[in-house]
Amino acid sequence: MAKTKIADVIVPEIYTEYVIQRTMELSDFFSSGVIAPAGVQLGGNLESGGTTVNMPFWNDLIGEEEILSDSDALQVDKITSAKDVAVLHFRGKAWSANDLARQLSGDDPMRAIADLAAGFWSRRMQQVLLSTLAGAFGSTSMTANVYNIGAAVGDAANINGKTFFDAAQRLGDAKGQLAAIAMHSATQTALAKQDLIQTQRDSDGRVLFDTFMGKRVIVDDGMPVASGVYTTYIFGAGAIGYEEGGVLAPVETDRDILAGDDVMATRRAFVLHPRGIKWIGSVAGASPTNTELSTAAKWDRAYEPKAIRIVQFKHKIAV
């Protein structure tokens, strides 16, 4: 006599693609364009072993032009190269439900788990990103991309239109690339009280997203707050590189017939990297924990500051 089990209703290959796609749809970081595919530089490396991905690049040309002469030849100069380094993340999570839970609840807990898994991974990957940014911008090499007014007095310490422009100026003539701003919900509320938040709607009046000073707003209460000082990030499009793949068994299902338990395990391998800030650290396990990611000594700047397309803005809020 056959019976329906979790393995009969969740097709691993299809479900894996569904979870990955839904994770991106549910994350404002993806939908805002802040996170973009890292491209061929990363894609082929995810299945080739190792814990980091080297991403070489050419440095810009330097020096001065020469005055042409009919007696002296031009001097030959060279182009130099360097590399960015991204760290690979290997993460997993498993869930289980007992037959009695289904019978007593009148619903299917495993189906609920399958439906909710994408939201879980969206939140966890955002935490990976925030831990990464905390460590990367804590590096002493990143001071040019940090604008910190948290110790100022009075309104000079608060985020507003003026101080936002000062923060964006950290990128100089590259500030026009900035497209989105990630902030705590308390920061968004403070700006809304100043009538600085604009809501974008579609033709039917449905809310699409909010903007601040023309930049798309991403609200996440995981944004750091310490002693009344809030950390906000201003991003250019594609400032974070993302690739995923290479897991041998992304989704597996099993059943313990003696206990009456259905089990579903998910595993993911991905890169979520702030372009131009290289990983130089070591880790205790196969890949870094969020605590290790947030360690400043494990990061170093690879690009020139203006090319990194991210500004860390530390400030207070008007109450």
Condensed to tens digits (0 to 9), the pLDDT of residues 198-229 reads 998 888 888 888 999 999 999 999 999 999 99
286 assigned to some structural domain: yes
Straight-line distance from the first to the last Cα atom of the chain, in angstroms, rounded to the nearest whole number: 67
Contacts of 90 (CB under 8 A, 6+ apart): 247, 267, 268, 269, 286, 287
42 assigned to some structural domain: yes
55 assigned to some structural domain: no
Structure tokens at 21: 């796609």
- Quickly state the pLDDT bin for 1 (edges 50, 70, 90): very low
Say which range, 87-96, 230-239, 301-310, has the weakest mean pLDDT: 87-96
Calculate the dihedral angle through the C-alpha atoms of 202, 32, 119, 283, rounding to the nearest 10 degrees.
180
In 3D space, the residue among 144, 97, 134, 149 whose CA is nearest the CA of residue 262 turns out to be 97
68 assigned to some structural domain: no
What is the tally of structural domains in the chain?
1
C-alpha 219/C-alpha 122 separation (Å) is: 14
271 assigned to some structural domain: yes
Contacts of 172 (CB under 8 A, 6+ apart): 306
Q: Domain range for residue 157?
A: 12-48+84-315
70 assigned to some structural domain: no
Say which range, 3-12, 16-25, 112-121, 290-299, has the weakest mean pLDDT: 3-12
C-alpha 59/C-alpha 298 separation (Å) is: 23
Residue 176 is part of a domain; what is its CATH number? 3.90.1690
C-alpha 245/C-alpha 67 separation (Å) is: 53
Residue 50 has pLDDT above 60, yes or no: yes
Q: Count other Cβ atoms within 10 Å, centred on residue 260.
A: 14
The pLDDT of 49-67, averaged and rounded, is 78
Rounded to two decimals, the pTM is 0.84
- Quickly state the pLDDT bin for 26 (edges 50, 70, 90): confident
Residue 3 has pLDDT above 60, yes or no: no
235 assigned to some structural domain: yes
Continuous H helices in the chain: 6-9, 12-26, 28-31, 40-43, 99-105, 109-138, 161-168, 185-193, 290-293
**How far are the Cα atoms of 56, 66, 223, 240 from residue 59, in angstroms, in the given order?**
10, 21, 33, 20
Place of tokens 């001065």: 64
Q: Are 184 and 232 within 8 A, CB to CB?
A: yes
Place of tokens 């499009």: 237
5 assigned to some structural domain: no
- Give the SS3 label for residue 315: strand
- Give the SS3 label for residue 132: helix
